[in-house]
Structure 1
Amino acid sequence: MSPVEVERKRELSEASSLRERLVELGYRREGTFVETDTYYSPQHVDYLETIECLRVRQRDGFAEITYKPASDAETHSVTDVISKVETNVRLAGPEQAEAANRLLSCVGMSTLACVKKERVLYRHPEREDVAVAIDSVDSVGSFVETEVTRTDDSGAEILEEIETALGVTGNRVVTEPYRDLVRTASVPT
């Protein structure tokens, strides 16, 4: 069975208390990354409507293309936990991101949005399958994204335990992808 990424995103009004809690619980800070994600959709399907993801991600010394399938009742639970098999293709280097963006454009993909964010990534002290990201997304705000990668169906239960331990269960759940939040923020009022 392919690994399934189980995740939930919540608003974060301030990150310092969460960072302190992560340290208290023994999480390892893996680094701070500035990521630029360019999202695409084909002409024949509206990925905004199907909530699919095709993106090129680039950051310091790293680039990849990611595809996440459409959301439906099976992949998006009533508790706003998202569980999807993610397909990633790591590119040879960050300079390949530009080539990937050109390729997708040349084959007729439409650019939906460009998301720039600073991500501080933490790993659980005992579970490599658990990551917590504190994201600051340009023009949108700050968020905490809890992610569990599993090959069985226990990911949602583990995610609930992690969020409870972190004290973030009272934060508003955000169901929209960053791509959609950035698009909404860029529309003039």
Structure 2
Amino acid sequence: MNLIEVERKRALDDVTQLKARLAAADYRPAGSSVEVDTYYSRPDVDFLATVECLRVRRRDGFAEVTYKPASTSATHSATDVIAKPETNVLLAGPEQAGAASMLLDVLGMVRLCRVEKARETFRHPERDEVTVVVDHVVGVGAFAETEVMATDAAAAASLLGQVEQQLGLDSCPVVRLPYRDLVLHHDTAQAGA
């Protein structure tokens, strides 16, 4: 059975406080990186409307192309838990990201935006399926994403809620939009100012 990523994103006012709660709950730093994502849509389908994702990601000696299907009531719950399968194609190296972007361009895909974020990853030694990340998205702000990889979306959503409560994230505002959309809204507001 395929693994499904079950996640929820929340806005952070105090990153330092969350990091202290992560340490107190025995979550340990598992790495940091800068990710640069270029997002695309099809010319005949508005991925902003369907909440689909097609991106080329570059990160520290790594590059991949990712596709996430359209959101539906089955993949995006009333509590803003997102459970979608992902298709990831690992590229031979970071230099291949440019070639992947060029391929999408010549196929007629529409380039939407570029999202740059600094990501800190935390993991618990007894919960391999759980990841908590702190993202600083350029121009947009700081966020926490709690992610659970599982085959059972309902059980994963329950565990996600438990982890958020344990870390005090349940009091932080849920962010329903993907980073792509937040950056596009920010860029539009900046252009209109």
TM-score grouping bracket, smaller chain normalisation: over 0.9
1:26 Cα shift? Answer: 1.3
TM-score normalised per structure 1 = 0.98
Counterpart residue number, 2:97: 97
Counterpart residue number, 1:145: 145
Amino acid at match of 1:110: V
DSSP 3-state at the match of 2:127: coil
Amino acid at match of 2:130: V
Amino acid at match of 1:63: A
In structure 2, how many angstroms separate the alpha carbons of the residues matched to 1:100 and 1:20? Answer: 39
Identity of aligned residues (%): 54
In structure 2, how many angstroms separate the alpha carbons of the residues matched to 1:66 and 1:108? Answer: 17
Q: How many aligned residue pairs are there?
A: 189
Superposition map of 1:177-188 within 5 A: 177-187=178-188, 188=191
1:52 Cα shift? Answer: 0.2
TM-score normalised per structure 2 = 0.96
DSSP 3-state at the match of 1:102: helix
In structure 2, how many angstroms separate the alpha carbons of the residues matched to 1:160 and 1:127? Answer: 14
1:33 Cα shift? Answer: 0.5
Counterpart residue number, 1:176: 177
Counterpart residue number, 1:84: 84
Give me the CA root mean square deviation: 0.8
Q: Deviations over 1:65-95 (max 9, x none)?
A: 1000000100000000000001111111111
In structure 1, how many angstroms separate the alpha carbons of the residues matched to 2:88 and 2:29? Answer: 23
Which consecutive aligned stretches of 4+ in structure 1 deviate over 3 angstroms post-superposition?
none
1:28 Cα shift? Answer: 2.1
Q: Structure 1 unaligned runs (5+)? A: none
1:27 Cα shift? Answer: 1.2
Higher helix residue share: 2
In structure 1, how many angstroms separate the alpha carbons of the residues matched to 2:124 and 2:109? Answer: 37
DSSP 3-state at the match of 1:184: helix
Counterpart residue number, 1:57: 57
